[in-house]
Amino acid sequence: MDGFVKFTNQSQGRDRIFRATQYACALSIYLLRNNAERKDLVAKLKSLETNMSAGRKLFRLGNTINSIEAAKRTMRLSDRVLCLCLTTANINRALYFICDNVLWARSVGLIRGVDKERWSLNSSRCYFLSLVMSLTRDVYVVLQLMTERARDKNFRQKMETHLGESPDVAEAVVPQLDAFCFLLLESLRSHPAVAVDTLKNICDLFIPLHRLGLYQSNAGVVGFCGLMSSVIGIVTLVQPKFTLKP
């Protein structure tokens, strides 16, 4: 119970609960869209989804500064690839939050004359670029892990034993491909934070892809991916060992 109280007292914790609820509503609405007997429930879910979205925008008012500060920190990383990927991701995340804040101010009537569609499109573009750079970082880290594992003599012996124990597989599948998959899975298994971060970013990527029209899916896919990434985000906040650093 103490852990739950600590989690909900954090603004990030509340935002992720709101986000999970928002996308759970979106997925439920899609699943119930053709059920005539559930029209009242669908209407309530749509209202709840809208309220969750508005609440999240309020929670994110200070996130622009946080992203800028994060970009300043990542600029000092000695690894140039990580420096480029993370700094670019943080800068685009800051721009995304700026667009999000402008849309929030328009929705509550603080500013007028704002083209909602244009700002929403720019927001999705910044979010997409941020996720692409985050995924590039994930791939880079995975490749580093695989290289380290491949140089380890004990691991090479383990891989040779694995390939020797599966002669039928070796005949059906290219041995190099089997070795690559084994190396990849073992690398991710030994560093679950990388696997978790990669899965979360892949799930999140479907959201801007759909909004930008780069990959047409449907509201059900967006809702499911958003819910999955939200649950993963909650897990990483509750269990920091699953958070990929830097």
What pLDDT, on the 0 to 100 scale, is given for residue 171?
A: 53
What is the Cα–Cα distance from 234 to 28, expressed in whole angstroms?
20
What pLDDT, on the 0 to 100 scale, is given for residue 5?
A: 47
User: In total, how many domains does the chain have?
Assistant: 1
Reported for 158-166, long-range contacts at CB under 8 A and 24+ positions apart, including other chains, are 158/186, 159/183, 159/186
Residue 144 belongs to domain spanning? 2-242
For residues 71 and 90, the answer to whether their CB atoms sit within 8 Å is: yes
- How far is residue 190 from each of residues 5, 87, 129, 194, 222, measured CA to CA in Å? 31, 26, 28, 9, 30
For residues 193 and 242, the answer to whether their CB atoms sit within 8 Å is: yes
- pTM (two decimals): 0.89
Helix (H, G, I), strand (E, B) or coil at 36: helix
What is the Cα–Cα distance from 244 to 236, expressed in whole angstroms?
9
Q: Mean pLDDT of successive 10-residue segments in the chain (246 residues)?
A: 52 87 96 91 95 86 90 96 98 96 89 91 97 98 93 81 63 67 90 96 96 92 97 93 90
What pLDDT, on the 0 to 100 scale, is given for residue 163?
A: 67
**SS3 sequence of 66-117:** HHHHHHHHHCCCCCHHHHHHHHHHHHHHHHHHHHHHHHHHHHCCCCCCCCHH
What pLDDT, on the 0 to 100 scale, is given for residue 159?
A: 75
Structure tokens at 17: 């609960």
What pLDDT, on the 0 to 100 scale, is given for residue 150?
A: 86
